[in-house]
A and B are shown apart, each in its own frame.
Chain A
Amino acid sequence: MSQSPDGALLRGALPVTASSERLDRDAVRDVLPVAVSLVPFAAVIGVTIAQATSVPIWVGMLAGPLIYGGSAQLAALTLTDTGAGLLTVLGTVLVINARLVMYGAAIEPRFRGQPRWFRWLAPHFLVDQTYTLANERPELSGPAFRRYWGTVGLVLGGVWVGTMYLAVALGPAVPTDSPLTFAATAVFVALLVPRLRQRAARRPAALAAVVALVASPLPHGLGLLVGALAGVLPAILLGGRERS
């Protein structure tokens, strides 16, 4: 992780508490392209909610903000709709979202010393995109981090849930096969590639990519989880790098 002492001075020294009730402008700028990239996926889920036969529409809609994770929501929705039982659905959700455990461990220092309510509730916003965005701003801490994290989580969730609900209302009229569907993938490419300029990021990325490719036939995105774990494993076994 690239610590930037300059950024810490610039940003950390600002009297952010005075304006703690407003949205963080930097956060809005960071998260907007990410949020927009999720519009196609949110639309797909909205249409799926509208077309489900044995899951009431309001239950499907409730899952959007409550689960706050598209793949798990889609899996839970379609499995339940085809008559799968509670344990099957929970097992699938567990596998799909297992990497959130890794994110939680990695982002924990940012939550250290935060108020109790924040430590219990704010992790709800933890997803691939929010973790990565927060990771790009290592200098934020205390109230500044709370403001940044809250803004990113609310804007992302707002666009996500808003689009989903709009698609529920419009139903099959929503196009789900536009080239925009690539946007979600492109965001992850845009988040990954600049990191590869740092030599230290290349080994975990390359290893994870190869293993994820080999393990890709596994069901429920298990290949993704196995690949990610493989990428982190050498650092654990070899004791990791010394932080500079």
Chain B
Amino acid sequence: MTALVIVLAASLVTWLLRIGFITVLPAERLPARIQRAFDDVAPAVLAAIVVSHVVHAGGPGAIPWPTLAAVLAAAAVAWRSRNLALPVVVGVTVFGLVLAAPDLAGPSTDGPEHVQFDARPVRAGPV
């Protein structure tokens, strides 16, 4: 019962965050200077999400080489093509390959024992 109440309340809070500037206080009523900043929302949030994924893949103090290598590979492909699937396929492939090569990955940074952690990216979603 308590768990149900918590889930319903969490859903309500999330919905309020979503409709806040759409329906309750439409953003068109905000100052023009703030409205012009909206163009920067997507690049800023996307960059912050990617960084947070990489950081959380490594755990404290560890450099997550497989994730880092895969991000760079996916980024290189994405720079050349607007296709969404191609960078994902290349990124996952590189990630898998570096994981499978522990010598490349370095000692116990992001090896298989950390993949479990990678499986719970705090920011992956539909977040």
* A, B from the same assembly: yes
The yes or no answer to B88 lying at the interface (CB within 8 A) is yes
Considering only residues 185-201 of chain A, those with a C-beta below 8 Å from chain B are 185-197, 200-201
Q: Are A186 and B91 in contact (CB under 8 A)?
A: yes
Q: Interface size on A (CB < 8 Å)? A: 118
B contact face: mostly helix, strand, loop, or mixed: helix
Q: Are A186 and B36 in contact (CB under 8 A)?
A: no
Chain B, residue nearest A78 (CB): B120
Question: Which among A5-13, A14-22, A55-63, A139-147 touches the partner chain?
Answer: A55-63
Roughly how many angstroms separate A212 CA and B44 CA in the complex, as a whole number? 10
Decide: A208 near B22, CB < 8 A? Known: A127-B126, A182-B67, A223-B52: no
Q: Are A104 and B120 in contact (CB under 8 A)?
A: no
A235 neighbours in B (Cβ, 8 Å) = 36-37, 39-40
Q: Kindly supply a per-residue 1/0 record for chain B positions 47-86, scoring 1 wherever the CB is within 8 Å of any chain A CB and 0 otherwise.
A: 1111111111100100000110011001101110011111
Decide: A98 near B122, CB < 8 A? Known: A66-B8, A108-B28, A216-B55: no
Ordered by A's residue number, 30 sampled pairs between the chains whose C-beta atoms are within 8 Å are A1-B39, A38-B126, A41-B119, A41-B121, A70-B124, A71-B127, A89-B10, A104-B27, A108-B21, A109-B27, A119-B23, A120-B19, A123-B22, A179-B93, A186-B70, A186-B90, A188-B50, A188-B53, A190-B87, A193-B87, A194-B78, A194-B79, A201-B40, A206-B47, A209-B48, A213-B51, A224-B52, A228-B48, A229-B44, A240-B35
